[in-house]
Structure 1
Amino acid sequence: MIDVGAAKRAAAEQAAELVQDGQRVGLGTGSTVEFLLPALAARGLTTIRCVATSPQTERQARELGLHVEPFDALDRLDVAIDGADQVAPDGWLVKGGGGAHLREKVVAQAAAHFVVIVDESKVVDALTPPVPLELRPYGLQATLHLVGELGKVVLRDAPTSPDGGLIADLHADVADPAALAARLDELAGVSAHGLFAPAPRQDVVVGR
C-alpha cells in the first residue's frame, strides 16, 4: 500500500534540491507543495525570489522565512514547482483540485523550467474527468450553457479563486486533451481550465 505522505515528501525534497540561490521561483499550491516549502526553506538559500500561486502558499512560505513578493515586478521565472492531480505518459496534466489553476498556469508558462511533483498514485495511463474550471462571474449562466455542450458542469461549493473566479468541474471526454483544451480556450467566460499541455522544459518528479 502506498504511503502517500512519504511519497509526496520524497518528490518535494528532490525538487527542492533543483533550486539554486539567486533564482526566481514559482511556488504552486496543494498538498505536495506543502512538503516542498519546508524542504526549500531548509536549504538556507538567501537570495531566491519567490512568487506564490495562492494565499495559503504565500502564507506558509512567509512563515518558513522564504522571501515572497507579488508577481508584478518579474517578467520571467527560472523555475516553477507545482503538484498535479493527474500526469499522463505524454506529459499532459490535470491540475486545479485546489482551485488555483489560473495562477498556476500563469506561473508555469512564465518559468524556464517547470517541475511537477507528485506521488506515484497521480501517474495515470490516460487522463480522466473531471477537469477543473475557473469561470468568470459575468454572464455565468451563458458560460455554463456553452460549457455544458461539452459535458456535465458542476459548480463547486467552494470559495472563489484568488482572482474572484468561480470554481467548477467539467465531466467530459478527455481522450483528446488538446482538442478539449482548444474548445475551452475559445470560451471567453472560462478564465482557465485544468488541462496543462506539456511545457517545453517540463520534468516530473514522482515520489514512491
Structure 2
Amino acid sequence: MSSLSLLSRPPLSSTLRRHHHRHTTTTFTTRRHLTIKSFSAPTPIQPLTQDDLKKLAADKAVEYVKSGMILGLGTGSTAAFVVSKIGELLSSGELTNIIGIPTSKRTQEQAASLGIPLSILDNHPKLDLAIDGADEVDPDLNLVKGRGGALLREKMVEAASDKFVVVVDDSKLVTGLGGSGLAMPVEVVQFCWKYNLIRLKQLFDQEGCEAKLRLGDDGKPYVTDNMNYIVDLYFETPIKDAWSAGKEISKFEGVVEHGLFLDMTTAVIIAGKDGVSVKSK
C-alpha cells in the first residue's frame, strides 16, 4: 500500500493592521480574513490553573448564546463548563427557550441534570450554534477532536450548525494538526478492527505514525456511544496535508469517522495567562 506524503501548506501571514486603546483590545486580520481580538484580564494573585483557563474561555463562548436558540452541546472537560454556564443562565432566567442537542450520553446526562431542555438532530436538523472544545487548533482554525471519544456525534451536530464556536486554553494551539504528539482518533467498526489499524498505520508510514487501539480503564477496548472502537494515531511530526489525509482515511471500508474537523469553525476562544482572545474567520 502506498503511504500518504504531501507537502504542507504555507503558514498564514500575520498582523496587517493593529489598534490599541486603554482597554488593551487588539485586532488584526490575516490575509485569509482571520480576525483576532484579545481581551486583557487582571493579573491574578495565584496563577490560573488549566481548569480556570477553560472556564474563562467557556464563559466567553456563552456570550454567543441568545434566547430561543437551538444549541449543539459539546463533549469534554471544556464543554462541560459551557453546559454548566448555560444551565446557570437558564435557571436565573437570563436565557429562555433554549433547546440543546447533546453530542454524547455524558453531555446528555449533565445537561438533563441542569434542567436544559434536550432534543435530537432528527427533530432539529438545523442548529443555530454549537459550542465545543478541541484537542488541537491550527492557525487556519482547523481542529483535531475526539480524544473524549465522541467525534462522530460531535461532527454530525457541529456540521448541522450555522455557527461553531470552539473553546480552548492556549496549550491546544499547534502549528499543524497532529503536532501535539497526542492522539488523532479514528472511529472504526468492531469487525476486523485490526485490519483497519494496520491500513491506517501504513497510510502514514512516512510520517512515522504509530497506531493503537484505544483501551478503557478496565483494559478492554474502549467502546463509543455508537458501539464502535477507536484507533488512535500518533504522529512524530504534523500531518503534511490534513485535507488529503481526511479523504484517504474516509476511503477505508469500516472507518466510521475521523477526528480532523476541517473548515468547520466560526470562532475559537482561547484562554491564556494574559487573558482571553478570540480568533474568527
Structure 1-normalised TM-score? 0.94
Bigger Cα Rg:
2
Q: In 2, Cα distance between the equivalents of 1:174 and 1:165?
A: 25
CA deviation profile, 1:29-70 (whole Å, cap 9, x unmatched): 000011111211122222111111111111011111111123
Structure 1 residue matching 2:97: 3-state secondary structure: coil
CA deviation profile, 1:120-143 (whole Å, cap 9, x unmatched): 111122222431111111232332
Among all aligned residue pairs of Structure 1 and Structure 2, give the percentage whose two residues are the same amino acid. 37
**Residue number among 70, 85, 89 corresponding to 1:39 in the alignment:** 85
Q: Which residue of 2 aligns with 1:157?
A: 215
Q: Which runs of 4+ in 1 moved over 6 A?
A: none
**What does residue range 1-208 of structure 1 map to in structure 2 within 5 Å?**
3-44=49-90, 45-127=95-177, 128=179, 129=181, 130-150=183-203, 151-158=209-216, 159-172=222-235, 174-199=239-264, 202-208=266-272
Count residues with an aligned counterpart: 207
CA deviation profile, 1:151-174 (whole Å, cap 9, x unmatched): 321001123111111012012451
Q: In 2, Cα distance between the equivalents of 1:61 and 1:115?
A: 18
- Unpaired runs of 5+ residues, structure 1, are none
Deviates more, 1:151-160 or 1:14-23: 151-160
Q: In 2, Cα distance between the equivalents of 1:188 and 1:115?
A: 31
Q: Give the RMSD, CA atoms, in angstroms.
A: 1.5
Q: In 2, Cα distance between the equivalents of 1:153 and 1:186?
A: 17
Q: Which residue of 1 aligns with 2:18?
A: none
Structure 1 residue matching 2:185: 3-state secondary structure: strand
Structure 1 residue matching 2:199: 3-state secondary structure: helix
**Which amino acid letter does the alignment assign opposite residue 34 of structure 1?**
A
| Residue 2 of structure 1: how far off its partner (Å) | 5.3
**Which amino acid letter does the alignment assign opposite residue 70 of structure 1?**
I
